[in-house]
Each structure stands twice: as structure tokens, then as C-alpha cells.
Amino acid sequence: MAARYRLMLTIMSVILILDRITKHLVIKKIPFCDSIGIWGEYFQISHIKNTGIAFGLFRTDLSNILFSVLTAAAIVYIFYYYRISGCYRLYKLPFGLLLGGASGNLYDRIFHGGVIDFLDFGIGVHRFPSFNVADSSIFTGLAILSFIIIKYGD
């Protein structure tokens, strides 16, 4: 493995491992569609499956297949862009986060028929859509990448 890829792949691997461990614990310890209160009603660990995309949008029988294909294509494109990029050093962290998150959610789509979400915040019936470690990693990676593009251009 080229030294150029080492840090990015390490970040990707750490995120993927954390994502798999947390989702495995949720699947084993919490019945599907059930929740455990961590901080009253404000923060719960819930066992939910999302076949759509962010915020549960576009949930249909075919959406899981479509989003699996799109996620796999995005992973391939990130590796391709990283390979041809002249500023690859700037992209190691955000691309590692994006690849780890995308890989974790792709694993779920392939082996669980949808993404396992479990971090659940809100008050009563007013809840933020549930998410997971992979989703947080994707969001963070996109935020860092946006900052790099704004500050340094592409």
C-alpha cells in the first residue's frame, strides 16, 4: 500500500470498525423498534432500520438497492479523485471519514436490508431523525471538505 493512502485508509478503517461495533451492540441488545433512555426523553438509543437516505427520505422497496449502488459508486469516485488530486494531503482526513461512513452504511444496506440507525435525540414526539456513527462521520467529512474547498479552492 502506498504511503499516500495509509492515513486515509486508517481513518476509514477506524470509522468502519466503530460503526460496526456500535451497530452490532444495538442489534444484539435492543429489540427492533425499541429504545433505551440514556438521558430521559432527550437522548435515547433506538433500534431503527432506514432503507432511504438522510432523515429517512425516499423509503421504498427499490430505494435500498438504488442507494447501495450510488454509495458504491461514490466510494469508487472518492478513491479515483484522491488518486488524481494534486492536493491529496488536504483530503486524507475528510476522504477517510467519508469512506468509513459510506462503507459502514453500505455494509448495512447489503447485509441488513437498510441502514441501522440508533442515536435518537428530541423532546417527546419532536425528534431529530435517528442517525449512527457512519452518518456522523459522513457529515463531519463533508464539513471539513467544504471548509478546504472554500479556503483553498479545488
Q: Is residue 77 part of a domain?
A: yes
pLDDT tens for each residue of 124-151: 889 999 999 999 999 999 999 999 999 9
Q: Is residue 38 part of a domain?
A: no
Q: Is residue 93 part of a domain?
A: yes
pLDDT tens for each residue of 25-56: 999 999 999 999 999 889 999 999 988 776 66
Is there a catalytic annotation at residue 154?
no
List the catalytic residue out of 19, 108, 120, 135. 135
Instruction: Give the range of the structural domain holding residue 122, as residue numbers without chain letter.
Output: 3-32+46-152
- DSSP letter for each residue of 76-134: HHHHHHHHH-TTHHHHHHHHHHHHHHHHHHHHHHHHHSSEEEEEEEEETTEEPPPB-HH
pLDDT tens for each residue of 92-127: 999 999 999 999 999 999 999 999 999 999 998 899
Q: Is residue 37 part of a domain?
A: no
Is there a catalytic annotation at residue 19?
no
The count of domains in the chain is 1
Q: Is residue 83 part of a domain?
A: yes
> How high is the pLDDT of residue 154?
63
> How high is the pLDDT of residue 60?
67
Q: Is residue 39 part of a domain?
A: no
